[in-house]
Amino acid sequence: MNNKDHGRIMIIGAGGVATVAAHKCAQVPEVFGEILIASRTLGKCDAIRDDIRRRYGREIGTAEVDADNVPELVSLIRSFKPDVVLNLALPYQDLHIMDACLETGVHYIDTANYEPLDEAHFEYSWQWAYQDRFREKGIMALLGSGFDPGVTNVFAAYAQKHLFDEIHYLDILDCNAGTHGHVFATNFNPEINIREVTQTVRHWRQGAWIETPAIIEDGSVHFTFDYPVAGNKESYLLYHEELESLARNLKGLKKARFWMTFSENYLTHLKVLRNVGMTRIDEVDYEGHRVVPIKFLKALLPEPASLGTKYTGKTVIGNIMTGMKDGRTITRYVYNVCDHEEAFRETGTQAIAYTTGVPAMIGAMMVLTGVWQGAGVFNMEDLDPDPFMEALMKYGLPWQVVEHTPLPQEP
């Protein structure tokens, strides 16, 4: 299955991230010989297919699939015969798609770790539990091949390999300095996004998880950081899934934190929505109908894939790391800057989807071409960062490494 010149990829989902990944795969026919995009709403797959046909004169296949239905997935995989399945649906579908890949012996890739529908909680344990089954089947599951998680893990692995003898402090900083013209919208799936950012915050220190208030609570931890290109932005401590695998995999690490920028306007809206119960994930009775408020809210908010039309500004995402090199303490900042308007011109959607869809394509490329090989379940930092870093430069997410001053380490 590996070392093929013309691989077959099946992309599941047809939202913002899948749109970008499909475009980027279509741009590399020498690797992605056949592409199928399958999702719950066939019309969205067809719209992506039509845009790809118009832009590149390439034909890709489309199909309707319920990714929570394993037999349906298995039958679609058996008929298309992909070498790799790229899961760009929602975290709820991860385990079902992994089950279908196991049954059919096809490599699996995603960008977000599993989260149960009825519990706003995500962690790797559910997917790491597939280790033996993937190993025995001789196939690979590559977890978190987006930007964060994804590129941020690869940046850490690259720093570990080339820049440091030991990394002691890791800070991942995610800044969206763009404006989309809507009063309130989320940049990726609203339901997943709101579940993520309303959680109690955790960061990792000396082997323990330290809890601090959620970003919308009094006492939330934030500071002003001067981002390259974007300037000063208020950055909030947030729990993010790559902290879990990096804390386990980076030897000598003492502390790992994740920060994300939020505007006052965004936080005020979120606080009000939470206070009136609109972010609840349980069912409530509304005039005899069972309604889940957060799902209803998602139906009212703009589709993330549609935000690109008026989006201007940049994203700046990267890692600041402090540690030892040749007996000296050094600090390095590895980051990428991505432009919303350029992302829109190239793929018809915004930079958050772009910065996720490009690494998703690159992860698939690494696996399809056999540059990354292995049987079992892998996080991104488990694999050689060099070819991935090279591909980021080539396929639209150039990065740089600069010296930096160490970040304050409170809390």
Which of 117, 142, 122 has its CA nearest to residue 130? Answer: 142
Q: Does 146 bind ligand NDP (CB under 6 A)?
A: yes
Nearer to ligand NDP, 131 or 306 (CB): 306
Q: Are 41 and 67 in contact (CB under 8 A)?
A: no
b/e per residue, 215-240, with b = 16+ CB within 10 A?
bbeeebbbeebebeebeebebbbbbb
Amino acid identity, position 116: P
DSSP strand pairing (107-110 vs 140-143): parallel
Nearer to ligand NDP, 1 or 120 (CB): 120
Three-state DSSP class for residue 27: coil
Nearer to ligand NDP, 34 or 241 (CB): 241
Q: Which two tokens stand for residue 152?
A: 């941020």
- CB atoms closer than 10 angstroms to residue 56: 13
> Which segment (50-58, 187-195, 251-259, 282-290) binds ligand NDP by CB under 6 A?
187-195
Give yes or no for a cis peptide into 411 (omega within 30° of 0): yes
Nearer to ligand NDP, 82 or 323 (CB): 82
Q: Which residue is nearest to ligand NDP (CB)?
A: 15
Which of 18, 8, 13 has its CA nearest to residue 63? Answer: 13
Backbone angles phi, psi at 177, to 5 degrees: -100, 25
The site for ligand NDP, by CB under 6 A, has a size of 34
Out of 7, 15, 293, 323, name the contact with ligand NDP by CB under 6 A.
15
> Which segment (35-43, 225-233, 272-280, 325-333) binds ligand NDP by CB under 6 A?
35-43
> Interaction with ligand NDP in 109-128: which residues (CB under 6 A)?
111-112
Q: Does 89 bind ligand NDP (CB under 6 A)?
A: yes
Q: Does 90 bind ligand NDP (CB under 6 A)?
A: yes
Residues near 387 by beta carbon (within 8 Å), at least 6 away in sequence: 366, 371, 372
Out of 4, 29, 41, 125, name the contact with ligand NDP by CB under 6 A.
41
Distance of alpha carbon 113 from alpha carbon 380, whole angstroms = 12
Q: Does 388 bind ligand NDP (CB under 6 A)?
A: no
Q: Which two tokens stand for residue 120?
A: 């706003």
- Chain CA centroid to CA 364, Å: 14
Compute CA distances 169 → 91, 282, 319, 321, whole Å: 29, 38, 10, 6
> Which segment (59-67, 263-271, 284-292, 395-403) binds ligand NDP by CB under 6 A?
59-67
Q: Does 305 bind ligand NDP (CB under 6 A)?
A: yes
Which of 319, 320, 356 has its CA nearest to residue 338? Answer: 356
Out of 39, 127, 245, 336, name the contact with ligand NDP by CB under 6 A.
39
Q: Does 198 bind ligand NDP (CB under 6 A)?
A: no
What ranges make up the beta strands (E) of 157-292?
Answer: 166-176, 201-205, 208-212, 222-227, 231-237, 255-261, 284-286, 289-291
Out of 27, 82, 139, 148, name the contact with ligand NDP by CB under 6 A.
148
Query: CA angle 95-362-230, nearest 5°?
Result: 100
Out of 82, 149, 348, 385, name the contact with ligand NDP by CB under 6 A.
149
Q: Shortest distance, CB of residue 14 to ligand NDP, whole angstroms?
A: 4
Out of 177, 356, 367, 385, name the contact with ligand NDP by CB under 6 A.
356
Q: Does 88 bind ligand NDP (CB under 6 A)?
A: yes
Q: Does 192 bind ligand NDP (CB under 6 A)?
A: yes
Give the position of tokens 């990267």.
318
Out of 14, 142, 154, 230, name the contact with ligand NDP by CB under 6 A.
14
Q: Shortest distance, CB of residue 233 to ligand NDP, whole angstroms?
A: 18
Q: Does 396 bind ligand NDP (CB under 6 A)?
A: no
Q: Does 214 bind ligand NDP (CB under 6 A)?
A: no
Q: Does 293 bind ligand NDP (CB under 6 A)?
A: no
Q: Shortest distance, CB of residue 42 to ligand NDP, whole angstroms?
A: 9
Q: Does 153 bind ligand NDP (CB under 6 A)?
A: no
The partner residues of 204 in beta bridges, in order of sequence, read 209, 256
Q: Does 347 bind ligand NDP (CB under 6 A)?
A: no
Q: Does 188 bind ligand NDP (CB under 6 A)?
A: yes
Binding region for ligand NDP (CB under 6 A): 13-18, 39-41, 44, 65-68, 88-91, 93, 111-112, 144, 146-150, 188-189, 192, 304-305, 352, 356
